[in-house]
Chain A
Amino acid sequence: MPPQCGGRKPHLAPQQQPFRLLPALLTKPHTGNAGPPADRPPEPEPATPRRTRRMRRRKPRRGRALRHSHAAPRQRPFEFQTATEQQMASAGSAASPVSPASSLLLPRAPPGVKRRGRMRPRRSELAVACPLVSVVFPGAVTRESCCLFACELLKHVMHQRHQLPLPYEQLAYFCRRAAKDGDVIKKSASMDLASKKCQQVLMELEGVLQHLEVMFRLTLVPRVLILLGGNVMRPKELYELNLEGILEGSAEESLKTASCVRKLFHSLFVADVFSELKALPAMGTVVMLQGHRSCGVDWFRPKLNYKVPTRGRKLVVNLSCDGDINMSTLPAQHVTSDWEDYVWFQAPVTLKGFHE
């Protein structure tokens, strides 16, 4: 095994990783350095002068690191990279004359950097307390896209945190094939049990994904939580998808879903949030999400008393929108004053992780 993939599962070849994990995107003809897809959103305007200046100052060091990480994002040294640094890095690249093809995969310089500048936590605090991955989309996003972000993140987290032995799509494929072959080949009892368990988990996960879709159709969802282990009040690990900063647009005016998902996952890979974590035993995963009190959802159970736990390992994925968005054409956005009518809902199933 090459030294750079030490500590990772041997079957995950580094350069394959992003694409294996996102089979949904395989339909798009792109490889690491392929040309931009036709539906790519227009290249955003260059960053503000002040920000650019700051980027440039850091460019010599960061630029190299970035190119390195871009060629094989998973080859980064096993240090934790904070969101701010990552934004710097990607911002630096946007300003630097890299090929247009590679800039497609890189997050644009997020304007959030400037806003956050004042209260930016120290690096050590960020790494220990609450790692944050911020993704800024250069335009409005549809609600269906938001739903897909949540679904893909759930699948990704479950695989990366060792609750599924293979990525969801592969597992589903093998399971379907096994079900088809099942009546032809007689399997041993233990194999049968394992495949039954796998099918059970997949069925439950599929159910959650479907109900997520329903939920997103019924209500605006400002936050989604993926809770691993323990119980909902005190999970072992917590992944939060924050969609509060998303500007919702109609299908015509919004960015294409695939490019947004690509961008989200690219940011996750660059931030390299999963590599340093210890392998987990199989445990339960619970999905919680915020929705409007009277959205009329039946499957998810309201948890009026719920409070997002502060302890335990936590990763926040912050999504927001920016860029030249004509606010008047967008549907009415929600004002923060009625956030209090948004309550937590919990999926009534616990997805039980399994190892093969």
Chain B
Amino acid sequence: MDEVAGELKQALPNVCDNIQVHVEVLQKSNSAAKKEDIRMSVLKLLNRHNIVFGDYKWTEFDDGFLNNNVQSVSIVDTDLKLKDRQPIDLSKGSLSLHIFHLNEEGPSSENVEEENEDIIAASHWVLPAAEFHGLWESLIYETEVKSHLLDYVTTTLLFSDKNVDSNLISWNRVVLLHGPPGTGKTSLCKALAQKLTIRLSYRYRYGQLIEINSHSLFSKWFSESGKLVTKMFQKIQELIDDKDALVFVLIDEVESLTAARSAFKAGTEPSDAIRVVNAVLTQIDQIKRYPNVVILTTSNITEKIDMAFVDRADIKQYIGPPSTAAIFRIYLSCLEELMKCQIIYPRQQLLTLRELEMIGFVENNVSRLSLVLREISRRSEGLSGRVLRKLPFLAHALYIQSPSVTMTTFLQALSLAVDKQFEERSKLADCV
């Protein structure tokens, strides 16, 4: 009998179990219900829907309590652990529920005072912020960039928890993302901060994201810049002292703060800039002792960064331009949004790349539009994520100008917009 059951199990598609399933529950902004009550109701809901395929999001519920208190229940990031979309048995895998509220207020500014002048040196968000909601999902990378980053922080926390001697094994809590412009490095940093705040909500009450304006840390007074950096980090230190907060420090375009000191030998850079680099390096060394801080940095020009800083970064992740598969997914998400807003009307079902692969790219009524989109994606290779995200907009602006269009027309316009983009690029290159 057991044998038969075993055979049957093999015959059935591989139901994946024993994986950690993350469920994010977004509580309504006006709901003050207890977390435990919501947890119970959501578990009941998940019990009823035993098996899910990949990520799934509920926004409407049979349960009145959930309807009143919960905005959405989403099973997320299953694709980070599983290569293919496969059924997940919720009853077997271990569920972790993350219940959170979004903070609706925008960023506040952090000032560094200098000689009666207030310089806005940083923007400051309380996480999870409404501004960054959905950002993580909108970022599409083909390699395991996202799961690497999440695993990195998990390990960091594990090491801090177990009190690993940082003199023997050292880690610096610095992540450096580098790559060409427009690939979503800064967005990824923000999304990562948001994600981690939600994931770790059981141990930290809230997250803080501080985005430092590197340029504002340079003083007009000679030798003052280093002090401004120190002042800035003192403010950050105050935030870190709150053990309930998970603090993310985002330094965008980090090369401006940590320019390679070797370049100064040529004498073209003022020595004040050297002091800034030194200040940043020493301050990072100070901060790394604390368990509740992560420093996120991005850069376009890696070769300009000081080696001592590159050394300190635990993860140096290259973020390249998207591949065809990623481009296809980006376009797909754009078109979904346009159909939701009824700019593309009537709604058409588009297949994912994987579904296309399963039918062997055979052209038929269902797959025709998706194949056209795939062709456009192939031609778009080499464009950055930022350009890709604005192409649907440009396509509409340049070639459509009507409140609603069919999918076929829109795809033609999109194709023209891609051609135009490459044309513009070659013209720009000719001028130089």
Contact = CB atoms under 8 A, between A and B. Distances in A.
A234 B209 CA distance: 13
B118 A293 contact: no
B126 interface: yes
Interface in B184-203: 201
Contacts of B289: none
Interface in B345-365: none
B31 interface: yes
Given A303-B101, A305-B101, A233 B35 contact: no
B32 interface: yes
Contacts of A52: none
Per DSSP, chain A at the interface is: loop
Interface string A31-44: 00000000000000
A230 B108 contact: yes
A293 B69 CA distance: 12
Contact of A284 (B34, B104, B108): B108
A152 to B, nearest CB: 25
Nearest to B108: A231
Given A302-B30, A302-B31, A305-B206, A234 B104 contact: no
Interface in A281-305: 281, 284, 286, 293-294, 298, 301-305
A122 interface: no
B27 to A, nearest CB: 8
Contacts of B104: 301, 348
Which has the most chain B C-beta neighbours within 10 Å: A234, A303, A345?
Answer: A234
A301 B208 contact: no
Nearest to A340: B34
Nearest to A234: B239
Contacts of A234: 208, 238-239, 242
B29 interface: yes
Interface in A317-356: 343, 345, 348, 350
B314 to A, nearest CB: 27
A252 B24 CA distance: 51
A304 B108 contact: no
B208 A304 contact: no
B244 A343 contact: no
A307 interface: yes
A232 interface: yes
Contacts of B241: 311
A304 B105 contact: no
Contact of A294 (B32, B124, B239): B32
Contacts of B31: 302
Contacts, number: 53
Nearest to A281: B118
Which has the most chain B C-beta neighbours within 10 Å: A303, A305, A345?
Answer: A305
Contacts of A343: 32
B126 A307 contact: no
Interface in B175-223: 201, 205-206, 208
Nearest to A309: B242
A71 B208 CA distance: 48
Contacts of A309: 242
Interface string B382-426: 000000000000000000000000000000000000000000000
B101 A293 contact: no
Given A304-B35, A305-B206, A350 B105 contact: yes
A302 B239 contact: no
Contacts of B110: 230
B208 A233 contact: yes
Contacts of A298: 30
A306 B201 CA distance: 13
A332 B283 CA distance: 56
Interface in B225-277: 238-239, 241-242, 244-245
Interface residues of A, number: 24
Contacts of B126: 231-233
Contacts of B239: 234
Contacts of B118: 281
A180 to B, nearest CB: 34
B33 to A, nearest CB: 8
A232 B103 CA distance: 10
Given A294-B32, A301-B29, A304-B32, A311 B105 contact: no
A302 to B, nearest CB: 4
Contact of B124 (A231, A307, A311): A231
Which has the most chain B C-beta neighbours within 10 Å: A302, A309, A311?
Answer: A302
B230 to A, nearest CB: 19
Nearest to A292: B32
Contact of B105 (A231, A302, A305, A306): A231
Contacts of B35: 304
Nearest to B239: A234
A302 B30 CA distance: 6
Nearest to B110: A230
Contacts of A286: 105
Interface in B115-158: 118, 124, 126
A310 to B, nearest CB: 8
Contacts of B105: 231-232, 286, 350
Interface in B77-106: 101, 104-105
B109 to A, nearest CB: 9
A257 to B, nearest CB: 29
Interface string B32-47: 1111000000000000
Contacts of B206: 233, 305
The 6 closest A-B pairs by CB, nearest first: A302-B32, A231-B108, A305-B205, A293-B32, A301-B29, A231-B126
10 contacts: A233-B242, A233-B245, A294-B32, A302-B30, A302-B31, A302-B101, A304-B32, A304-B101, A311-B242, A350-B105
Interface of A: 230-234, 281, 284, 286, 293-294, 298, 301-307, 309, 311, 343, 345, 348, 350
Given A298-B30, A345-B32, 20 more contacts: A230-B108, A231-B105, A231-B108, A231-B126, A233-B126, A233-B206, A233-B245, A234-B238, A294-B32, A302-B30, A302-B31, A302-B32, A303-B101, A304-B32, A305-B101, A305-B201, A305-B205, A306-B205, A311-B242, A343-B32
